[in-house]
Amino acid sequence: MQLHGNVIGEGRPFIILHGFLGMGDNWKTLGKKISEQGFQVHLLDQRNHGRSPHSDEFSYEIMVSDLNAYCKTNDLRDCYLLGHSMGGKTAMLFAALHPDLIHHLIIADIGPKYYPLHHQDILDGLSALDFEHIKSRGNADKELSHYVPDVGVRMFLLKNLYWKEKGVLGLRMNLEALIKNANEIGVELPGEYSFDGPTLFLKGEKSNYILKEDETRIQRQFPNVLIKEISAAGHWLHAENPVDFLTEVLEFVNK
């Protein structure tokens, strides 16, 4: 399976992995700014997301295998790897299994611990979208609002809308496979896995994904780690405070 990637700029390889129900395009603005610092940025769609292939199989091991195949195909080594949420879990496991390919690792608002399933309302809302009757983004937003009251989250989800053909909307993600495998999203990075290279964990000030008590485990599995907080931001810290997020990332990779 060959992942879809949007490549921006020239220089050191910098891979960005989006979160659950996202896509590489969510990172286009930040990716462009990172590329201006001498990086070739690869905005990837993970399997069953965006424009990447669909499959019934879905796990972090499989997504790591996809990323490894992408690196081989594109001859990428000494990579700077950034992953947000689900993408962060993929990035952690990839770095542990392929440390020779990673120069710097950046994890955005996710820890190695287990997370219980908490996307059910979103998945129910997306499943309720009936594209035989929904013929506009506005109609989709109205229907989704019954399940997802937060406007920002709906805007993020509705970036998955596209015209399958004239007059027929659809979702780019493989919703059926993601619902079937939703329990895979929260699985922990097993305790025996670790990565000794330079690592940055960024957590949102208003997010509860990385708690103070989680930091001991992070430091054990990533002994060469910095843990920084992004102020005035929740789980979507790169969108809620992009200026501070970018500053921390660039300071870390340019040390």
- CA dist list (Å): 5 to 44, 51, 70, 126, 128: 4, 9, 9, 25, 29
How many CA atoms, within 13 angstroms, populate the side-chain half-sphere of residue 17? 34
Dihedral angle, C-alpha 157, 233, 238, 51, nearest 10 °: -10
Give Dmax over CA atoms of the chain in angstroms.
53
Question: Which one of the listed residues 35, 52, 85, 207 is annotated catalytic?
Answer: 85
How many CA atoms, within 13 angstroms, populate the side-chain half-sphere of residue 41? 21
Residues 163, 141: contact at Cβ < 8 Å? no
Euclidean distance between CA atoms 156 and 118, whole angstroms = 17
Please indicate whether residue 146 is annotated as part of the active site. Answer: no
> Could you tell me which residues come within 8 angstroms of residue 150 by beta carbon, excluding any fewer than 6 positions away?
none
Euclidean distance between CA atoms 207 and 221, whole angstroms = 22
Question: Which one of the listed residues 42, 49, 104, 235 is annotated catalytic?
Answer: 235
Please indicate whether residue 85 is annotated as part of the active site. Answer: yes
Please indicate whether residue 36 is annotated as part of the active site. Answer: no
Separate counts of helices (H) and strands (E) for the chain: 10, 9
Question: Which one of the listed residues 10, 176, 231, 251 is annotated catalytic?
Answer: 176
Q: Report, as residue numbers or ranges, the catalytic residues.
A: 85, 176, 235
